[in-house]
Every structure is written in structure tokens, then in C-alpha cells.
Structure 1
Amino acid sequence: MTSLRHNMAYLLTITILIVSVGRLGDTTGRRRLLLIGILLFTLACILCGLAPTLWTLIAARALQGLGAAIMMALTMAFVGETVPRARIGSAMGLLGTMSAIGTALGPSLGGALITGFGWPAIFLVNAPLGVLTFALAYRNLPADSSGEKTDRAGFDIAGTLLLALTLSAYALAMTIGHGRFGPLNVALLLAAAVGTGLFVFVEARTASPLIRLAAFRNPVMSASLAMNALVSTVMMATLVVAPFYLSRALGLDQALVGIVMSIGPVISTLSGVPAGRLVDRLGAPFVIIVGLAAMAAGSIALTVFPGIAGYVAAIAILTPGYQLFQAANNTTVMMDVRPQQRGVISGMLNLSRNLGLITGASVMGAVFALASAASDIAMARPEAVASGMRTTFAVAAALIAAALAIAAQTYRRRRAADPR
């Protein structure tokens, strides 16, 4: 429960603020704000490691989430600013590889640090890394141009607060109860729906809105955000369901579960850079479709192929598909965005991903529990867990099919608009 609380503070802060800090970077200067974000993250890591009480740890994790939100939103924005158009795909693929390296190393390195030095070490180890990151960013990032700061007086405070409250309500609705929806979850979802309506109303009447609603009339932008959320929902399902399937249905011990679960991040690490290069060579719209097709095939394989070999084979198809999609989708969005909108658009991409992850943890977890027909999934029979796994990834395949339909429709529109 303690771990859940401080992790929730971190994730909620990122989700709530990532669009706002992206917009703030656009209006005040992205380099300056990114350097502040790195410092905040580093300071927060030290505070987490030294926290004397749970509530101090929660507050420090929230501050860490603010720093992480700034870094996540503005890193992708800098790709669009500093990388030539012909190589944006390669840069996005490299970002995907670096993210996968962190995912692969995190559990094993964290476990070793906790075993050897105690839990504060997993936070304190970030302090020297944060200092190194700050030095590299300070030395290599281009200076902010004066044009990036012309809109400072018009920062949309009302829209920022409304979006934060709306996202808080949705995130809490998806996480309270751990997949079991009660009256409080429904009330929070209704509050999120009302908040969305109020946010749209306010943004349509604000001279300098947090999010320009006209962006959603761009079919490519809307399609990219929708596909990103759907794909993230499916990827979270692999993290939620796989440990139960491997341990309960296949009977693997904890060490083997960890080894098998690490295969996906390793494949992701190896496929990120090649995926980015394929985007530069074949074009982002086509690679999006290829990536989604591979993800659909991988999801179907998880419903068909039994055993450890079947699981690994399916993940070996699903994970490179995800890297292809991510590199191509991010390239599609960031390649043509206006310079003064790069931060907020990058924030929206990251927000759609986070909302997909939150939804996947709740909804796909609930699908798995219902399909397993067990009141306590940790005690479910192996055949029930296997059945839940098949049903969950049948739903996942349907979600990817929906994303594939969106991609195909968008691709046809682009081809019709530009016959070349």
C-alpha cells in the first residue's frame, strides 16, 4: 500500500501536468524549463531517499513527477527543433531504445540496490545521473529564441486548472478499486466528463488557450492521439496479465518470471533504432500500418500459442511492432508541428500514452479477472488464468484492429490529398 501511494503521486503528477508544462516551455523557453525540470527531478530524488516519513516521501515523489513531466514533454519537442526532418524517425527510434533500456535495467538494478543498500538507494542513485544529465543538456541544447517567449502573459491558468482537475478525476476513477468499479468510480468518471465539457468551453473562449481546439480538427493529429492511447492500453495489458499467466498458468517460479518478462524490453531495446531508420526510409504513415499489423499479429499469437515458447514468440512479434508504431507515430506528429506548439503537442502525445497506460491497467486488468472467473486471481486455477489470458488478448487484438482501421483511413486521406 505504501508503494502504491507514492507511485500514484508520481504518476498522477506526470499525467496531470505534462500538457501544461509543454505549453509553458513553448511560452517561456524550452531549454530553460528543461534545465529546471532536470534540477527538480534530481532534487526530488535526493528528498525521496532521505524522506523520514511516508507523507514526506509522497510529497517528494510528486515533485519528482513534476520534473519527469517537464523532461518527458520537452525532450520530444527538442527532437523536432534540433534534428533535420529527414532524420526525425531515427531520433524517435533512438528515444524508444533509450526508454526500453531503462525499462529493462530498472527492475534488476533496482532489486540489486535494494538488496545491497536498502530502498533509499533506488532514489539516491539518480542524483549523480541527474547532475550529469544537467551538464550535458546545459552544454549541448540550443539557446531559447526570443520568439518562444512572446506569449508568456497569455498562459491559460483557467484551462490548466480545469485540465488538471479533469485528468485527476479520470486517473483516480481508473485506479481506485483496482479494476472493480463502484459508485465512487462512476462519480469520478462523471466528474471527468463534466470537466472535459467545461475545458472545451473555456478553451474555445480563451485568447491564448492551453490547447488550441483547432488541432483536433486536424485528422492526422486526432488519429495519432487516438492510436497512441489504444496501443498503450494494449501494452499495459502485457505488464498486467503476463506475470499471472507465467506464474499461475505455466508454473514458473519468480526468478523465471522475471527472466521471461525481461525478454520484451530487451527486444524493444534492439528494435528501436532500426525502427526509426525504417521510418526515415519508408515514410511514417506506411510504417504505422506495418507496426500495428505486427502488434495485431502478436496479440492474436498470445491467444493461440501455448507455453513459454508461444509466449516468447508472440512477444517477439508484438514488441518490434510497438517500436515501429511509436517511432512512426511520434514522427508523424512532430515533423510538421509549428515551432511555437512543439512543447504542448509533445505533452499531448505523452498524455495520450499515459491515459492509455492508466486505462489498460484498470480495464484490461478487469477483463482478465472477469474472464478468469476468480474472486482472487492470485489463487485462480491454471486453466482459468490461461482462459483469462486468451480473452484479454482477444480484446487487445480488437483494440489494435481499431487502431489499424484509423491508420488505414488516415493513410487513404493523405494519399488522396497528395497523389505523389
Structure 2
Amino acid sequence: MEQAEMNGSERRERRGATLALSLSMLLASLGTSIANIALPDLAKAFSAPFAEVQGVVVSYLAALTISVVVAGRLGDLYGLKRMQLAGLTLFAVASLLSAMAPDLPLLMAARAVQGVGAAFLMTISMALMRETASEARIGRAMGLLGTVSALGTALGPSLGGALIPLAGWRGIFWVQVPLAALALILAIAALPTDRARGKARPANMFAVMEKRLLPNLIVNIVVAAVMMATLVVGPFYLGLALGLKAASVGLVMSVGPVISIVSGVPSGRLVDAWGARAVLSSGLALLAAGAFLLAILPQILDVAGYIAAIIVLTPGYQLFQAANNTAALADVPKERRGMASGLLGLSRNIGLMAGASLMGAVFAYGTGTGDFIHAAPAAISAGMQLTFLLAGGLMIGAMAVIFAGAFERRSARA
């Protein structure tokens, strides 16, 4: 009876912690996408060219990318819960400053601070989720974070579009203040107290980035680059090669985020049932198949072919995310999990930037011009095909990296 009550109490504590961490991850991903839709309104409000108001988005992403490893190291040094609370406080204050910003430079500065707060939320949430989840449900916990992250990214533009007519561009920042305050209250109440730390300081980045973790980081970069390529190339192909209107392009592009939201937790369940390595291989295989299908099917079936390829590609990404995060953190000692989570976040962001720049350059090369607006539909299709043939090849290379890492571990054990 006493044991049952204790188990019930533990379950409630874990549910509270999961809710706090999920809301934290939602806020960080929401902050990534919610400002994009307000850029035209910001250009009008501040009488600034589009190139300048883009700084509102870029400052957030740049600060997030630079800060993720630092956030993880601070979590290892001073306690994960303490740094999670610091990140939520920073995010809430920066959201308030963004909503009240009187000019564009101050808005960009506030967004940069918000990006630093988001780096703590993304990095520390993953490390804390690994620490608070039971051993049998680690994959499910990682899958849930993947679902929440996809939900926040997908929700941002639609929530922003609903708020701007009601409250103007400032509304997209005001709405984040009470959400951050709620997450802070939940985190204070539900997250486990930091354990006392000894005098030994956590290892530096290079010590954490040992051979066992390096393959996961490399593959994380490659997969993120391929996924970003779908977001960069997809709208051009759908709009210019297939001639879809903007509303239709948006509808087709929403298929991927919707699948991500639905498939995140089931992917985590498979990690718990099959093991991280098996699911990691399956995810990469689906990613490779989806990339090759994106190079082939749209040329034959147009929009239906594009959607069919995305239906294969996106679950592969969620399987990969849940399994890769679980596998990467499984071999890392508790006192280094913050830094390891930061490295995972850094590698993902590097991949996103590489996907936007390098894969975009491949698309331009395949199209034969950087002036996509005046390119012929056949040229856009050729660029799309080259981009995703390369993406499929990169996925096969990623599988080779993972298999080589697994072989090294088996050899070391033998």
C-alpha cells in the first residue's frame, strides 16, 4: 500500500516535470517561428526595408546557436534545475522587452536575449528529461520533446497570424510572457532539486565530444541540413515549377509539420521497445528513401508525388530524432549531460544553417541560375532533383557513419 502510494507520488512528480519541460521546449520553438509572419508589419511600423527587419529573426537564431553549448556547460556546473529557471526568467523578461521595444535596434537586442533564454530551454530541457524519465520510458520522453518542438514551430505562424489583426505585432511577444511565467511556476514546483555537486568541475567540450558521441553529432548535422533543404527548396518548387498559389503552397508545406506532431511520441515508444540503435537505422533508411523519392516522384506525380515523399521522409526524421538523442545521452555520465545536450543542439543548428546555405547553393546550381523567379519550370525541377539526389546520398553516408561507430564499439567491447 505504502509502495503503491510512493509510486503514485513519483508518477505525479514525473508528469509535472514532463509538463514543465514540454512547455519550455514549446516556448523555445514557438519563439523560432512566430516572428516570421510579423516581418511585413514590422517593416511598416519602423519604416525599415525588409533586409533590416529580418534581423528580428536572425538575432534570435544566432544567439540561440551561439549559446547552446554554454547553456549546457552552465547546467553541468551549477545545476540543471537552476539553469532551467534562469532560462525561463530570461525568456520571460526578453519577451516583455520585445513587446515594449520602441525601435527596431532595441527589438533585435531583446530578441537576441530571448534567443539566449531559448538556448537554455532547449538544451537543459533535454538533459532534464533524460534525468527525470524512467529507464523504460526514455525514448518516449525524447519523442515527446520532438513532438512539442514540431508543434511549436508549426504553431508559430498560425498563432502569429491570428494575433496580429487583434493586437498588432506586439501581440506575438505579449502572448509569450504569461506562457513563460506559467512554465516558470511549473518548473519551480515540479522539477527535481539539483543534487549537491562535488569539487570536481565538469569536463570541457572536447572531453565530452568523445568518439562515442561524435558519430551522433555528425549525423545530426547532415539530417538537419537535409530537412532544412525541404523547407528552402519546397516552396520554390511548388510555387514556380508546379504553379501553386501561395495558400496552396502553405497547405502542402504544412503536411510535414503535422506528420511530425503525430509521429513524435510513437517514435519514442519504438525506441523503448526496439532499442535506440535499431530505430536510428530505421529512421535513416526512411530519410534516405524519402530524399530519393523527393528527387523522383514529384517529376512524375506533381503535388501528389511531393506529398507522398514527405509522408516517407518526415516519420524518418522523428524516428531519427528520438533515437539519436536517446543514444547520444545514454553513454554520457550525468555530470556531462548538459554539455552533451548543448552539443546536440549546436550540431542541429549548424545543420540547419548548412541546409539553408549549401543545399540552397546546390539547388541554384541545378537550376542554372540564382534568379528563381524568372527560371523556367523545367529548370526549377532539375534543381529540385539534383538537391534531393545529393540529400539521399548524404543519408546513405550518415548510415555508414552510424554503422562504423557501432562496429567500433563492438570491437572495443570484444
Question: Structure 1: which amino acid aligns with 2:55?
Answer: R
User: Where does 1:7-406 land on structure 2 (aligned, <5 Å)?
Assistant: 7-147=57-197, 150=199, 210-211=204-205, 213-218=206-211, 220-306=212-298, 307-406=302-401
Question: Structure 2: which amino acid aligns with 1:9?
Answer: S
What corresponds to 1:409 in structure 2? 404
Question: Structure 1: which amino acid aligns with 2:374?
Answer: M
79-88 vs 391-400, greater mean Cα deviation: 79-88
How far did 1:64 drift? 0.2
What are the superposed Cα offsets for residues 98-141 of structure 1, whole Å, 9 maximum, x if unpaired?
Answer: 11111221111112222332211111111111111111111110
Q: What is the RMSD computed on CA atoms of the aligned residues?
A: 1.5
324-333 vs 115-124, greater mean Cα deviation: 115-124
How far did 1:267 drift? 0.4
How far did 1:418 drift? 5.5
How far did 1:251 drift? 0.8
2:144 match: secondary structure: helix
Q: Distance in 2 between matches of 1:45 and 1:270?
A: 29
How far did 1:209 drift? 5.3
2-11 vs 388-397, greater mean Cα deviation: 2-11
2:243 match: secondary structure: coil
Q: Distance in 2 between matches of 1:415 and 1:279?
A: 20
How far did 1:4 drift? 1.8
What are the superposed Cα offsets for residues 230-288 of structure 1, whole Å, 9 maximum, x if unpaired?
Answer: 00010110111001011001111111111111100000111111100101111101111
TM-score by length of 1: 0.83
Q: Distance in 1 between matches of 2:312 and 2:370?
A: 32
Q: Distance in 1 between matches of 2:67 and 2:55?
A: 18
What corresponds to 2:26 in structure 1? none
CA contact (8 A) 1:19 1:344 kept: yes
What are the superposed Cα offsets for residues 42-98 of structure 1, whole Å, 9 maximum, x if unpaired?
Answer: 111111111111110111011101100111110011022111222111100011111
- Give unmatched runs, 5+ long, in structure 2: 1-50
Question: Structure 1: which amino acid aligns with 2:103?
Answer: T
Q: Distance in 2 between matches of 1:395 and 1:410?
A: 23
- Give unmatched runs, 5+ long, in structure 1: 155-207
CA contact (8 A) 1:88 1:335 kept: no
- Name the count of aligned residue pairs: 361
CA contact (8 A) 2:208 2:340 kept: no
What corresponds to 1:205 in structure 2? none
CA contact (8 A) 1:296 1:400 kept: yes
Match of 1:2 among 52, 57, 64: 52
How far did 1:411 drift? 2.8
CA contact (8 A) 2:53 2:104 kept: no
